[in-house]
Chains A and B, each alone.
Chain A
Amino acid sequence: MASPNESTLQVGRRLPDLFRILCWIAGAGVVLVLGWIIVEIAQSAWPAISKFGLEFLSNSAWVPNRERFGVFPFIIGTISSSAIAMLFAFPLGLAIAIFLSEDFLPLPVRQTVRFVVEMLAAIPSVVYGLWGIFVVIPIVKTIGDWTTERFGTVPIFEGPTYGNSLLTASLVLALMILPTLTAISRNALAAVPPALREGAYALGATRWEAILGVILPTAAPGVVAATILALGRAMGETMAVAMLIGNSSRPSWSIFAPSGTLAGLLANQFGEASGLQVNSLMYAALILVVITLGVNLVGEWVLRVTRRRTEGIR
């Protein structure tokens, strides 16, 4: 005989099941959508894939009116602009994160700084683009003219300096990825167990010894995750980069020369493209997806390795 108690228990049992189903649907939905996007892109890209094959990756010519397509300069541009951005943003972001997680300053001041840094993430990328045009470009031009005059023989400083250049785009990208880097790194640093910190002090470590020897290594997986996410954002950033990088398909070593990225190429040419150019742009999009997925996979791997290494101190 079923008592009322039992029936509520049954309902109680059935509810988590419903919830599980919902979660499954949501989880599978995400995977399905990602798969669908990739399939759709690959399908539209197929004519270009079958025509150009892997040469598409190593070919430097992007000549729509002659139906010659290759994205080598754009792959290099995508990777180098993100890498240079990381070069600026990583030390700065990590330093800010350490600064915000330690008690160098009173809490209200730190919270204000943190809020301001995180606000950077809320600025639309077209605003970053405009700001880059009016503020960063003149600065880069001044620096560039000075540098190319003195060190112009070094390939990466070769002139003439263009305002819209690899360096300009990278600097603005650095600023755009700073909040991602800072916020996640700060969380990782703040999550380091207080016992570890106190232990280090108890053993006579100075503050810097504690930070560099104990806190940073413990927080390393989180910092790595922050770096990967930031790198992903830098590679996929479109609007600001398209406005600042100069959108050139000529490969160049110089950081003061215009360059181009895959995302920028898509944004620039998709609207008016037709025929094989559309297929080639889709192929370029597919490559961008593969690169970003690759970065995330490598990040995941590094994350696991560092987590295993730091297990001992946890």
Chain B
Amino acid sequence: MLAIAAVAMFSPVESLLAQQISGAGATFPAPLYQRWGVEYNKVNPAVQVNYQSVGSGAGVKNFMTGVVDFGASDAAMTDEEIGKVARGVVLIPATAGEIVFAYNLPGVKGLKLSREAMAGIYLGTVKKWNDPAIAKHNPDIKLPDMPVKVAYRSDGSGTTFVFTQHLAAISKQFDDEIGFDKSVTFPVGVGGKGNEGVTALVKQSPGTVGYVEYGYAVNNGLEMASLQNKAGNFVSPDLENGAATLANVQFPENLRVWPVDPEGATDYPIASFTWLLLYKKYDDAAKRDALKGFVNWALTDGQKFAPELGYIPLPAKVVEKAQAALATIQ
């Protein structure tokens, strides 16, 4: 009884004194990070994490100017950007996602897209759904004689970065004509703003194909194509196949790596990590410990929230590496 009274008395005070941690960055993992903030606060009420989803680019900028305690970015940080941060940078892969080819073709389920077809669609060379490049690998499906309408992200985004990086890796023509970046110019199609914009484009118009994050496609009931990986197999975008991709990744020292064209037999071809950006040194020891506690929790217990929100939980091997990197923070 006394204990309860004491807790009741002290909790408001405690919440006033709670260690505030602020972060900003990528929109793609924002639902998960915000969920982590809420869940961690239940486990450890002394820490309040506030994450603003402002976009990867803005996240890196905020992190570099030091207005946040941590940043978050789908494109990690470039060496040049890291060089400008006097306090040093530690990149922590926090979660991962898959990018899917979502399509809307009435009556067509289980579409398979070869590497040639994927690049061809976004190069504008595959113009009809019954084009031989698509039909060849879908002998069981009656494909309509319908124009392929292409949807892409009109805003700068990490999703586009990862997606175009993969297409540039598998098609020389794509690399030459379009290249890869957070925003590129496709020779065909229509642009939607944000994952939700592209999702709406696909959902509303039969004959449309677009690239979106796995979670958006699942939540909106969109059909997703199986994609051909480097081993030549057609792999569906389940979270297990995504996890297979991640488990096979070889990490460099700075943990910044993209499975651009993964080689495993069941690897889903377009998956990517997203990173938390932490400083190497924090002046405020209490804040540092709170932040390290939070990130450590997120890497372990926090991972169980990933699948329900459409993210791939980190494989144990990756968690180990991330924890080792976390331990180097002073």
Q: Given A242-B193, A247-B154, A273-B156, A163 and B182 touching (CB < 8 A)?
A: no
Docked Cα-Cα span, A30 to B179, in Å, equals 45
Whether A106 is near chain B, meaning CB under 8 Å from some CB there, is: no
Cβ of B58 and Cβ of A164 under 8 Å apart? no
Task: Tell me the smallest distance from the CB of A71 to a CB of chain B, in Å.
Answer: 13
Whether B233 is near chain A, meaning CB under 8 Å from some CB there, is: no
Q: Interface size for chain B: under 10, 10 to 19, 20 to 34, or 35 or more residues? A: 20 to 34
Q: Given A65-B179, A271-B55, A249 and B185 touching (CB < 8 A)?
A: yes
Chain B residues numbered 279-318 whose CB sits less than 8 Å from any CB in chain A: none
Most central of B54, B154, B180, B181 by chain A CB within 10 Å? B154
Interface-lining segment among A49-57, A133-141, A171-179, A213-221: A133-141
Q: Given A138-B204, A164-B201, A65 and B190 touching (CB < 8 A)?
A: no
Task: Tell me the smallest distance from the CB of A57 to a CB of chain B, in Å.
Answer: 18
Docked Cα-Cα span, A272 to B74, in Å, equals 11
Docked Cα-Cα span, A260 to B155, in Å, equals 12
Whether A97 is near chain B, meaning CB under 8 Å from some CB there, is: no
Contact partner of A164 (CB less than 8 A), chosen from B56, B179, B183, B190, is B190
Cβ of A271 and Cβ of B57 under 8 Å apart? yes
Contact partner of B56 (CB less than 8 A), chosen from A138, A141, A163, A272, is A272
Contact partner of B191 (CB less than 8 A), chosen from A61, A137, A160, A268, is A268
Most central of A160, A164, A267 by chain B CB within 10 Å? A164
Task: Tell me the smallest distance from the CB of A238 to a CB of chain B, in Å.
Answer: 11
Docked Cα-Cα span, A250 to B185, in Å, equals 9
Whether A222 is near chain B, meaning CB under 8 Å from some CB there, is: no
Whether A283 is near chain B, meaning CB under 8 Å from some CB there, is: no
A residues less than 8 Å from B154 (CB atoms): 242, 246-247, 264, 268
- Chain B residue nearest to A259 in the complex (CB): B190
Whether A243 is near chain B, meaning CB under 8 Å from some CB there, is: yes
Whether B115 is near chain A, meaning CB under 8 Å from some CB there, is: no
Docked Cα-Cα span, A268 to B57, in Å, equals 13
- Chain A residue nearest to B201 in the complex (CB): A164
Contact partner of A246 (CB less than 8 A), chosen from B179, B180, B181, B191, is B191
Cβ of B184 and Cβ of A64 under 8 Å apart? yes
Q: Given A133-B200, A164-B190, A65 and B56 touching (CB < 8 A)?
A: no
B residues less than 8 Å from A269 (CB atoms): 155-156, 183
Docked Cα-Cα span, A23 to B54, in Å, equals 40
Chain A residues numbered 148-184 whose CB sits less than 8 Å from any CB in chain B: 159-160, 162-165
Contact partner of A63 (CB less than 8 A), chosen from B184, B192, B200, is B184
Chain B residues numbered 40-80 whose CB sits less than 8 Å from any CB in chain A: 54-58
Whether A62 is near chain B, meaning CB under 8 Å from some CB there, is: yes
Chain B residues numbered 238-293 whose CB sits less than 8 Å from any CB in chain A: none
Whether A314 is near chain B, meaning CB under 8 Å from some CB there, is: no
* 24 pairs from A and B in contact (CB 8 Å cutoff): A64-B184, A65-B183, A160-B147, A162-B149, A163-B204, A163-B205, A164-B191, A164-B201, A165-B190, A243-B193, A243-B197, A246-B191, A247-B191, A248-B189, A250-B187, A258-B190, A260-B191, A268-B154, A271-B57, A271-B156, A272-B56, A272-B183, A273-B183, A274-B57
Residues of B within 8 A of A (CB): 54-58, 147, 149, 154-157, 179-185, 187, 189-193, 197, 200-201, 204-205
